[in-house]
Amino acid sequence: MTGPSDTVTELLANLERGESLPARWYTDPSIAERELARIFRKSWIYVGPLAHLANLGDYITGYAGGVPVVVVRGEAGLAGFVNVCRHRRHEVMQGRGNARMMMCGYHAWTYDLGGQLRRAPRSEGAADFRLEDFPLLPIRAEALGPLVFANLDQEALPVQHFFGPVLDIIAQAGIVLDELEPHSRAEGNSPANWKAMLENYLECYHCAVAHPGFSAAIDVRPDQYKYEARDWFSTQTGPVKRSALAGQGKAPPYDVTGAVGESQYHFLWPNLTISINPGFPNLSAELWIPDGPAVTKGFSDRFFGRGASEEFIRTMIAFNEQVAAEDDRLTDSVQRGLMGGLPDRGRFLPNAEPLVLDFQRKIIRAMVGKN
Ligand SMILES: [Fe+2]
């Protein structure tokens, strides 16, 4: 970092006083570059549902730290690769599906499920060319419950080490993880920095003001709505509103009765959130991918327990989309505020927004600390 006030000690001390990161951290392309290198290329990044990798040859694709990645179910289990052909660097696999071999759609260079190059048309007579010298580059790929992650850092500790306890907390909500089935993926772009969007996710200080439908379903009062920060993830829990269960007061926007009696909003470093709402078992895994400093590409993988009714699925998706639209309006506005650089620092309230403080602490340590 440059600038006299950007030492890690000073940034952290400012933070403990409730003074947020400088505006530039949300607008400067060099900061976004540094985040890719120091955060996204060294962390476990969600790729897709494990259920899509049930059979030999199943594959899913995604991005980790700006790098196209593919995870396949091979003979030896899950395997991850940089999804880029060793020839002209075209992406090898697209979307998701099942394949016996991974064939690049540009010149038909063909890799087996272990990533070895098996065929390169017209390469037979080429001097100094050996198929075995050009395998797909391997990366780490591991499952955590129903979710599959990839990591470009070969030295990383297992994903379980970072996020394992999240599965226990989710089970405590009344969700049987083995019975969750992937339903659909929704994708979208937002004109806001990924950190601004996650900082909004990480507090419910704004819920009563900005989310009337949400606040009719979930008890967002400070003595009921809880925050907990752990080393690599954080959790918000809010009980279902008793009045909503009893059919009193403002009607909640979907049927909140069911096995799940509370909402849980988990954040898994650096850019995955897992949202669970009260009612019939449901979970959505949301990935927030920076695309430069001022755009976030996101997607949400929706899961439901076995036997969810069409009506519940439809109304739950509508509920989540309503909250997301309300949040987007907030974070779009925050980004416009940040772009001008004035005021340079925000002042937040650590008691009301403890997970925002925790998140910024993690960001500072990753960005300014030793490699
Ligand atoms: Fe919100």
Q: What is the pLDDT of residue 4?
A: 40
Q: Of 279, 21, 240, 64, which Cα lies nearest the Cα of 152?
A: 64
Q: For ligand 1, a single-atom ion, which residues have Cβ within 5 Å?
A: 327
Residue 300: pLDDT over 80: yes
Q: Residue 99, class by beta-carbon neighbours within 10 Å (0-12 exposed, 13-18 middle, 19+ buried)?
A: middle
Domains in the chain, ordered, with CATH?
45-144 (2.102.10.10), 157-368 (3.90.380.10)
- Strand order from edge to edge, sheet including 45-49: 45-49, 147-151, 138-144, 77-82, 67-74, 58-64, 96-98
Q: What is the pLDDT of residue 1?
A: 47
Q: Which tens digit of pLDDT belongs to each residue from 260-291?
A: 999 999 999 999 999 999 999 999 999 999 99
**Measured distance CA(69)–CA(64) in Å, rounded:** 7
> What mean pLDDT comes out for the span 316-338?
98
**CA count, 13 A, side-chain hemisphere, 223:** 0
CB 107 within 8 A of CB 97: no
Residue 351: pLDDT over 60: yes
Question: Tokens standing for 64?
Answer: 């980790």
What are the two backbone dihedrals, phi and then psi, of residue 19, each rounded to the nearest 5 degrees? -95, 125
For residue 117, report the distance from its CA to the centre of ligand 1, in Å. Answer: 47
Q: What is the pTM for the complete model shown?
A: 0.96
> What mean pLDDT comes out for the span 19-37?
97
**Measured distance CA(27)–CA(33) in Å, rounded:** 11
Cβ atoms within 10 A of the Cβ of 49, count? 23
**Measured distance CA(101)–CA(114) in Å, rounded:** 9
For residue 193, report the distance from its CA to the centre of ligand 1, in Å. Answer: 15
For residue 328, report the distance from its CA to the centre of ligand 1, in Å. Answer: 8
Residue 97: pLDDT over 60: yes
Distances from the Cα of 1 to the Cα of 101, 134, 342, 363, 364, angstroms: 45, 38, 20, 13, 10
Residue 345 has what DSSP assignment?
S
For residue 265, report the distance from its CA to the centre of ligand 1, in Å. Answer: 11
CB 108 within 8 A of CB 117: no
CB 352 within 8 A of CB 203: yes
For residue 335, report the distance from its CA to the centre of ligand 1, in Å. Answer: 15
